[in-house]
Amino acid sequence: MRWVIAWLGLCGAALAEGEQAGDFDYYVLSLSWQPTWCALEGAARGAEECSWGQGFVLHGLWPQYERGWPSYCATMERDPPRRQTEAMADVMAPGLAWHQWKKHGRCSGLPAADYFALMREAAERVALPEVFDRLRQDLALPARVVEDAFREANPGLRRDAITVTCEAGRIQEARICLTRELDFRDCGAGAVRDCRLTDAVMDGVR
């Protein structure tokens, strides 16, 4: 009997580390400006993706509460095998795919294959501003310009449905809020991270 009680106690402790899978309000689609990540971290690591010459790239699809967000959730779904994360290599590094599943995907309540497919679908629903694909030199600009470019490329994307973040004085990410059906919706208070810099650096695509 003692070992049964101990086993149950261990299970309870493990489940207490994360929220319940599937219990959330909406998604945040995160699109990273890859030249910033490469300038701050990736190039020093020799990351292969820093030689791809890309601008905005898929970072993740994050379940979100109206205030705050779940992470590392308890789920009955199996973790993806390596071949499944490697199959995401055309849109993100396999290591990033695994991290996104572990921290965010488990919280979706979906099987890993369905979560990765949903992440792709969400990214495909958002048009990337073409003007940034042609950016070949570093540029200083108000972060609001990036937000406006996304709104122009995506009719129906309200100002309150997108937030642009900065890191170390550089444009970091565009985060777009979506319903569970992947329609645009306003972001909750916990998701808004608006960068207010008027001279944020946007590293050129190389």
* pTM listed for this prediction: 0.88
With 0-12 CB in 10 A as exposed, 13-18 as middle and 19+ as buried, what is 98? buried
Low-confidence stretches of the chain (pLDDT < 50) are 1-17
The pLDDT value recorded for residue 55 is: 93
Task: Check residue 46 and give its pLDDT.
Answer: 77
For the chain, what are the domain ranges? 26-202
The per-residue pLDDT for 8 is 32
Q: What pLDDT, on a 0 to 100 scale, did the predictor assign at position 167?
A: 95
Q: Is the separation of the CB atoms in 202 and 171 below 8 Å?
A: yes
| Separation of alpha carbons 191 and 168, rounded Å | 19
* Composition of the chain by helix, strand, coil, percent to 5: 40, 20, 40
pLDDT at 159: 95
Q: Which of 163, 162, 171, 101 is nearest to 135 (CA)?
A: 171
Q: What is the pLDDT of residue 133?
A: 85
Tell me if the domain spanning 26-202 has CATH number 3.30.365.10.
no
